[in-house]
């Protein structure tokens, strides 16, 4: 089931504080993490240039970004495995928090109207997405099959990486294998010899519903009214992919800044990034002034 909060096709403002997604206390305790988490703005430090946005496995990119920009309440860096254990929606919410540090707490996205094919801008408040996540997401869901009920847990980044790695190696897992990996308790052969039917087609709607309820920011859609033709629509939005595109543009802007300052002043990357952003901007303004003179 897709999530579709109402939104006008125009920006709105939100004064709510920027928050990271709520992380389960047991998970934080298992990694010795002090809550709440804090995130810094991406595109400010040398390690931000080392993240490769062209790498083929998206979960790996997401984990590198979250690890680089997140600290716990004590200011400590965090084990990447901590982020691999996050649910997929939590990881998306974390990326959106990084984007909000760049764009503000109201996220402006563009979508195409399916009726008139015109592009429109929609606005989503970050705190509304976090509220949606906290209100609807659960740790496990029950899927009703013809012979029994099964409990499945929410997929994590580690699950995504495993499935995508297998697919990249030419051995993509089938739906039954993926579902088996999400079972809370793997059934024994004695008690449940045929735990899953070979044909999952009859239960796919229930399965999709359960998994969507566990991760409300994954199959996300937004109910909007097109300002061009007046037709309502519900476009699907890959929030995680959108966040990665925004952050990639931030990195590209930083690379261009380093290039211009290095060419003009012959500074190293380390020297340039040691400067506060406002001073880099001043130097860039001076370079632009010389070009125009």
Listed by start position, the domains of the chain span 1-137+216-293, 140-214
For position 197, what pLDDT does the model report?
63
Dihedral sign for Cα atoms in the order 272, 275, 277, 279 = negative
For position 17, what pLDDT does the model report?
39
For position 258, what pLDDT does the model report?
96
Structure tokens at 279: 């001073």
State how far the Cα of 59 lies from the Cα of 216, in Å rounded to an integer.
Answer: 18
Residue-wise pLDDT tens digits, 155-193: 999 999 999 999 999 988 887 788 778 887 655 544 444
State how far the Cα of 272 lies from the Cα of 72, in Å rounded to an integer.
Answer: 27
Dihedral sign for Cα atoms in the order 251, 256, 257, 261 = positive
For position 198, what pLDDT does the model report?
65
Residues of the chain with pLDDT under 70: 1-19, 135-137, 146, 185-200, 293
CA distances from 190 to 31, 158, 177, 185, 187 (A): 36, 30, 20, 14, 8
For position 16, what pLDDT does the model report?
36
Comparing CA positions, the residue from 180, 162, 189, 171 lying closest to residue 60 is 162
């Amino acid at each position: 089931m897709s999530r579709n909060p109402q939104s006008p096709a125009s920006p709105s403002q939100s004064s709510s504080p920027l928050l990271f997604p709520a992380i389960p206390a047991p998970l934080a305790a298992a990694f010795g993490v002090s809550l709440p988490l804090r995130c810094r703005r991406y595109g400010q430090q040398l390690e931000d240039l080392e993240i490769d946005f062209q790498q083929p496995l998206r979960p790996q990119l997401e984990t590198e970004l979250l690890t680089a920009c997140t600290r716990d309440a004590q200011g400590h860096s965090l084990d990447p495995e901590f982020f691999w254990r996050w649910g997929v929606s939590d990881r998306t919410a974390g990326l959106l928090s990084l984007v909000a540090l760049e764009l503000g707490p109201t996220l402006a996205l563009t979508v195409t109207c399916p009726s008139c094919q015109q592009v429109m801008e929609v606005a989503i408040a970050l705190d509304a997405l976090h509220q949606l996540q906290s209100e609807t997401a659960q740790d496990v869901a029950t899927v009703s099959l013809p012979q029994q009920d099964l409990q499945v847990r929410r997929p994590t980044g580690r699950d995504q990486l495993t499935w995508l790695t297998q697919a990249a190696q030419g051995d993509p897992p089938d739906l039954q294998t993926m579902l088996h990996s999400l079972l809370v308790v793997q059934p024994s052969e004695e008690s449940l010899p045929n735990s899953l039917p070979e044909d999952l087609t009859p239960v796919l709607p229930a399965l999709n519903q359960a998994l969507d309820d566990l991760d409300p920011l994954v199959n996300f859609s937004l109910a909007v009214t097109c300002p061009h033709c007046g037709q309502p629509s519900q476009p699907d939005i890959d929030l995680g992919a959108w966040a990665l595109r925004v952050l990639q543009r931030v990195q590209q802007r930083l690379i261009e800044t380093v290039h211009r300052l290095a060419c003009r002043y012959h500074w190293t990357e380390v020297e340039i990034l040691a400067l506060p952003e406002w001073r880099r901007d001043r130097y860039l303004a001076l370079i632009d002034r010389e070009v125009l003179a």
